């Protein structure tokens, strides 16, 4: 089965859309989407410099438009799964049949402007944390009042929060951890973005949706989303919630993905997939950056499309921690156990005493994502429950 992935902010490069303007109708399409987004997409994708396209308000609609423009030249009817990283989820929602392209570009424009405005409210930022023990890294972030905004896999967590807290963290990081400050406007995917989430939700409430026509993975928990309205609700919530790209990549493996195409500007997500899915059974990957890459992408589609795309779609739900503290799983709840909705899965014990962790859906307990006595933060995924529909 084939997956098509749409990248997020930080993957853009000056002039990356230039070769796509040579395709028939591309300029007309971008001018139309520019009206929806409120920015000049042709200028941003061809003549703007790195500083101009680093602006969140401009970058987000540009990335969504670029992914959609390239996807129009692929035989998407043979694609079994789509996913996007951060703002790339809007493009993925279009490719899954949930949103019209104009709606996604419009929402990207609103999302970008409102997140830029939220960044201006107080000095915040982000830093990539490379290496280290995952549990120790998460515990250290919590102790500094920081948030794990992105968990990209391959030993990479992106921390976000107040600049003063990031400075203190960088001065005393966990063992075997390297801290790299990121050139971004603020603390994306954290509670600092609450005003942007509210503004995006007001606009998204009026969007007409349809249910996905292919598997659509969510950044929230790596789970396939079954309904159009739920997709939009998750897109709004994702503005303040961590991006769990690690769980999305794990879902690619669980679902037996054999081929991956990353839409332009491609390379970042392909690299993460390569680092996580190695050895025998690793998917074949094509990075689609210019129209010259289209023959290779179409060939990949032809070779990896098949009946697997039409099998009942597995779903996954992740139960998250209700509080900060240490996890105590319930006894006799090993991986592979059937659980029912409302069943007690364990407790998180912190300063306010033990707080119950319960299952919100019935299904198979496929994986514990945190272990006994591990320090956990509010909203941190604890256990994965799966099934099929």
Segment 152-161 mean pLDDT: 88
Eight-state DSSP code of residue 78: G
For the chain, list the domains and their CATH numbers: 2-118+191-311 (3.40.366.10), 124-182 (3.30.70.250), 315-388 (2.40.50.100)
Express each pLDDT in 75-134 by its tens digit. 998 999 999 999 999 999 999 999 999 999 999 999 999 999 999 999 999 999 998 888
Provide the token pair at 122. 């107080």
Is the pLDDT at 307 greater than 60? The verdict is no
Provide the token pair at 313. 């779609």
Please report which confidence band the pLDDT of residue 308 belongs to, taking 50, 70 and 90 as the band edges.
very low
Segment 161-177 mean pLDDT: 93
For residues 318 and 369, the answer to whether their CB atoms sit within 8 Å is yes
Is the pLDDT at 309 greater than 80? The verdict is no
Question: What's the pTM?
Answer: 0.81
Q: Please give the full DSSP string across 180-246, using - where no structure is assigned.
A: EEE--SS-TTSGGGHHHHHHHHHHHTT------SSEEB-TTTSPBP--HHHHHHHHHHTTTS-B-HH
Cis (ω within 30 of 0) for the bond into 141?
no
Average per-residue pLDDT for the chain: 91
For residues 258 and 1, the answer to whether their CB atoms sit within 8 Å is yes
For residues 53 and 60, the answer to whether their CB atoms sit within 8 Å is no
Point out the catalytic residue in the list 36, 86, 197, 321: 86
Provide the token pair at 21. 């303007």
Beta bridge pairs of residue 259 = 2, 284
194 vs 39: CA distance, rounded Å = 24
Express each pLDDT in 356-371 by its tens digit. 999 988 888 888 888 8
Share of the chain above pLDDT 90, in %: 70
Cβ neighbourhood burial of 351 (10 Å; 0-12, 13-18, 19+): exposed
72 vs 101: CA distance, rounded Å = 11
The segment with the largest mean pLDDT, out of 346-350, 365-369, 375-379, is 346-350
Express each pLDDT in 211-242 by its tens digit. 999 999 999 889 898 889 999 999 999 999 99
For residues 94 and 101, the answer to whether their CB atoms sit within 8 Å is yes
Is the pLDDT at 389 greater than 70? The verdict is no
303 vs 1: CA distance, rounded Å = 9
Rounded to the nearest angstrom, the gap between the alpha carbon of residue 382 and the centroid of all alpha carbons in its chain is: 18
379 vs 386: CA distance, rounded Å = 19
pLDDT at position 216: 95
Rounded to the nearest angstrom, the gap between the alpha carbon of residue 210 and the centroid of all alpha carbons in its chain is: 21
Point out the catalytic residue in the list 85, 144, 147, 189: 189
What does residue 48 show for φ and ψ, rounded to 5 degrees?
Answer: -70, 145
Any catalytic annotation for residue 189?
yes
pLDDT at position 313: 53
For residues 97 and 11, the answer to whether their CB atoms sit within 8 Å is no
Q: Please give the full DSSP string across 30-73, using - where no structure is assigned.
A: HHHHHHHHTS-HHHHHHT--HHHHHSHHHHHHHHHHHHHHHHTT
pLDDT at position 210: 93
pLDDT at position 314: 58
Any catalytic annotation for residue 86?
yes
For residues 316 and 385, the answer to whether their CB atoms sit within 8 Å is yes
């Amino acid at each position: 089965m084939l997956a098509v992935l749409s990248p997020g902010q930080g993957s853009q490069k000056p002039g990356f859309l230039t070769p796509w303007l040579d395709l028939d109708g591309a300029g007309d399409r971008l001018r139309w989407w520019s009206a929806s987004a409120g920015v000049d997409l042709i200028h941003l994708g061809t003549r703007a410099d790195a500083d101009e396209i680093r602006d969140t308000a401009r970058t987000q609609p540009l990335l969504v438009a670029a992914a959609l423009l390239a996807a129009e030249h692929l035989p998407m009817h043979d694609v079994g799964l789509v996913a996007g990283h951060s703002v790339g989820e809007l493009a993925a929602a279009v490719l899954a049949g949930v949103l019209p392209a104009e709606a996604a570009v419009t929402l990207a424009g609103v999302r970008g402007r409102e997140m830029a405005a939220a960044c201006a409210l107080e000095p915040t930022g982000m830093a990539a944390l490379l290496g280290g023990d995952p549990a120790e890294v998460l515990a250290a972030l919590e102790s500094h009042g920081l948030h794990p905004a992105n968990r990209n896999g391959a030993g990479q967590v992106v921390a976000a929060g107040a600049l003063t807290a990031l400075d203190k963290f960088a001065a005393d990081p966990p063992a075997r951890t390297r801290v790299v400050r990121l050139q971004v406007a603020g603390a994306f995917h954290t509670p600092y973005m609450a005003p942007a989430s509210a503004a995006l939700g007001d606009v998204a409430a009026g969007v007409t949706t349809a249910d996905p026509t292919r598997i659509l993975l969510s950044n929230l928990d790596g789970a396939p989303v079954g309904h159009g309205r739920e997709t939009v609700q998750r897109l709004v919530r994702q503005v303040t919630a961590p991006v769990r790209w690690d769980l999305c990549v794990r879902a690619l493996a669980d679902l037996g993905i054999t081929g991956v195409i990353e839409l332009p500007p491609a390379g970042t997500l392909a690299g993460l997939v390569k680092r996580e899915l190695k050895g025998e059974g690793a998917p074949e990957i094509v990075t689609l950056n210019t129209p010259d890459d289209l023959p290779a992408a179409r060939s990949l589609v032809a070779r990896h499309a098949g009946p697997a795309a039409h099998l009942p779609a597995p779903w996954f739900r992740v139960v998250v921690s209700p509080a900060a503290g240490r996890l105590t799983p319930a006894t006799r709840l090993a991986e592979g156990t059937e659980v029912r909705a409302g069943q007690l899965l364990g407790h998180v014990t912190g300063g306010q005493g033990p707080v119950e962790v319960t299952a919100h859906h019935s299904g198979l307990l496929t994986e514990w994502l945190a272990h006994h006595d591990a320090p956990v933060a509010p909203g941190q995924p604890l256990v994965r429950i799966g099934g099929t529909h």
